[in-house]
Amino acid sequence: MQEVSTLKMATTIVVRDPRYLEHDQGPGHPESPDRLRAIYERLDQEDVKGLFKTIVPRPARREELLWNHTGDYIDKIAGTAGRDFYRLDPDTATSASSWKAACLAVGGVFAAMDVIAGPDVQNGFALVRPPGHHAEKDRAMGFCIFNNVALGAHYAKQVLDCERVLIVDWDLHHGNGTQHSFYNDSSVLYLSTHQYPYYPGSGGVDQIGKDDGKGFTVNVPLSPGAGDEDFAAIFNRLLVPIGKSFSPDFIIVSAGFDIYLDDPLGGMKVTANGFAYMARVLLDLAESCCKGRILFCLEGGYNHTGLKDGVLAVLKECKAMSVLGSDAVSRLDNSGPGPQVLEHVMDIQKDYWPLT
Between helix 272-289 and helix 326-333 the angle, nearest 10°, is 70
CA distance 264 to 327: 29
Instruction: Tell me the Ramachandran region of residue 50: left when phi exceeds 0, alpha when psi lies from -120 to 50, beta otherwise.
Output: left
The catalytically annotated residue of 134, 174, 180, 194 is 134
DSSP track, 150-213: HHHHHHHHHTS--S-EEEEE-SSS--HHHHHHTTT-TTEEEEEEEESS-TT----TT----GGG
Quick one: CA dihedral 279, 185, 218, 287, positive or negative? negative
134 is catalytic: yes
Q: Strand 92-94 relative to strand 86-89: parallel, antiparallel, unpaired?
A: antiparallel
Helix (H) / strand (E) containing 219: strand 217-222
Which are the catalytic amino acids?
134
